[in-house]
Amino acid sequence: MEYFVEKNSIVRKIWGEPDCVMLIFAGAAAEFALNKAVDWLYFTGNLPKDPIGRLFSTVSYAGKIIYSEKKDALKTIDAITSIHAGVENKRGSSIPEWAYRDVLYMLIHYSIASYEALAHKLSAAEKQEVYDVFYRLGERMKLKDLPLNYQEWLIDREFHLVHDLVKSGYSLDLFKQYKKHLGSFRYLILLEGQILVAPSKVRQLLHLRSFSLLKPLLPLYKLSRAMKLDGRIKSMMLPGKYKHEIDKISFEKKG
């Protein structure tokens, strides 16, 4: 049986950890809000109505691809492409290709940053492996001019951070919606998670500190995992319906 991502891949290990998935979500929530093409996500009206669910949808698609057999993963990627094509037809214009690359680049960056924040630094080979998986995803989506390796990607990633991000009215509205849907306490945790994994350019635009208050608590959290108490902590961090989405991705790693 051929899988899109090999069973012993570091990518499966990263996305099999609910804690990492939560941080991937947190970082993506910050960067999504700043992207110059975020107006496309407002076009359907789904993002402002349920911003947390919309972002989890993106994360869930990625998780499904990572744990699927190759043929099923390719079908999922093609379905994503088809959905976007439908939105483009309704609006009468095309989503910029750089916007697709930005989302792909987010998944690469936050996969690595989240695992390194919660576990340990990845080797150069492991980072390349993460990049290879998402490179193949981008290739299937027919994205052009993708960097050929991780080192080249780092350069292009910086270019995208400088040229494709801006704090706009959409950014402000999205963060208001995050707070509305998460509540004040969970919203503060979201911000601290973003500080933990977001690039300096993102923190700068959002006026976030460089040091996360979650960092000193990470050893305690790791201890809670060892004592099987982390489920209660996750319940505090996310509303039940979103916690289920993370658990579903984690469950899929057993397949």
Structural domain containing residue 195: 10-242
If one counts the domains in the chain, the total is: 1
pLDDT exceeds cutoff 80 at 130: yes
CA-angle at 248, arms to 246 and 249, nearest 5°: 70
**Tokens standing for residue 198:** 């977001």
Q: What is the pLDDT of residue 252?
A: 55
Cα gap 20→221, rounded to integer Å: 13
Is residue 249 a part of any domain in this protein?
no
Domain membership flag for residue 179: yes
In a domain, 247, yes or no: no
Q: What is the pTM of this model?
A: 0.89
Residue 63 in any domain: the answer is yes
Residue pLDDT, tens place only, 154-212? 999 999 999 999 999 999 999 999 999 888 988 999 999 999 999 999 999 999 999 99
Per-residue pLDDT at 236 exceeds 90: no
Q: Is 104 a member of any domain?
A: yes
By the 10 Å C-beta count (0-12 exposed, 13-18 middle, 19+ buried), 154 is classed as: middle
Q: What angle do CA 215, 182, 24 make, to 5 degrees?
A: 50
The reply to whether 2 falls in a domain is no
Closest listed residue to residue 73, CA positions, set 1, 149, 146: 1
Tell me the mean pLDDT in the region 78-83.
Answer: 92
Predicted confidence band of residue 251 (pLDDT cuts 50, 70, 90): very low
pLDDT digits (tens, 9 = 90+) for 49-76: 788 877 777 778 888 899 999 999 999 9
pLDDT at 51: 81
Residue-wise pLDDT tens digits, 84-119: 888 888 888 888 999 999 999 999 999 999 999 988
- The answer, yes or no, to whether residue 31 has pLDDT greater than 50, is yes
3-state secondary structure of 69: strand
Q: Percent of the chain beyond pLDDT 70?
A: 84
Is residue 253 one of the residues assigned to a domain?
A: no
pLDDT for 207 equals 97
Whether 222 is in a domain gets the answer: yes
- Note the pLDDT of residue 83: 87
pLDDT at 56: 75
Residue 17: the pLDDT is: 85
